[in-house]
Amino acid sequence: MSLMTEPVRSPEIEKIAQRTLERLPAAFQAAAREITLLVMEHAPRDVLADFGMSDPLELTGLYSGVPLTERSFDGGPYGPAEIHLYRAAIEAELLDRRNVSLEELVAHITVHEMAHHLGWSDDDIAAIDPWWE
């Protein structure tokens, strides 16, 4: 496991996230192909406000779109399904934890946000993955 010693570059985060989606089990591949990955420096203020946050280092990732479980059978226009990864917050989390690699952290965040695309709640995810405890 390599610990971060220099700032993380967004292309590196995007590559890790893309590899993570590509390595999901076959049953999830079609859903993963719907996802657009976006790496940004940090979450916009309005997004933070929606979650009652003020510190941009609190939010490492976000799924935006209509989860598969909330879509109707008519295939209506749903807009893009996106996973937003926030570089500065990921870097801060990596420095704070010091016990995970960049690969592990980005993969975890990507899978967590992908689970929201599948319709899982934070409670559902936490029941399976107690990572944040």
Domain ranges of the chain: 10-128
| Average pLDDT score over residue span 92-103 | 92
For residues 66 and 31, is the Cβ–Cβ distance under 8 A? no
pLDDT at 1: 40
Fold of 10-128: Collagenase (Catalytic Domain) (3.40.390)
With beta carbons less than 8 A apart as the criterion, state whether 40 and 84 touch. yes
Listed in sequence order, the residues at least 6 apart from 112 whose beta carbon sits closer than 8 Å to its beta carbon are 61, 125, 129, 131
Q: What is the pLDDT of residue 71?
A: 83
CA–CA gap between residue 26 and residue 14 (Å, rounded): 21
Residue 3 confidence (pLDDT) above 90? no
**9 or 38: which carries more pLDDT confidence?**
38
pLDDT tens per residue across span 30-59:
999 999 999 999 999 999 999 999 999 999
Token pair belonging to 26: 């076959």
pTM: 0.86
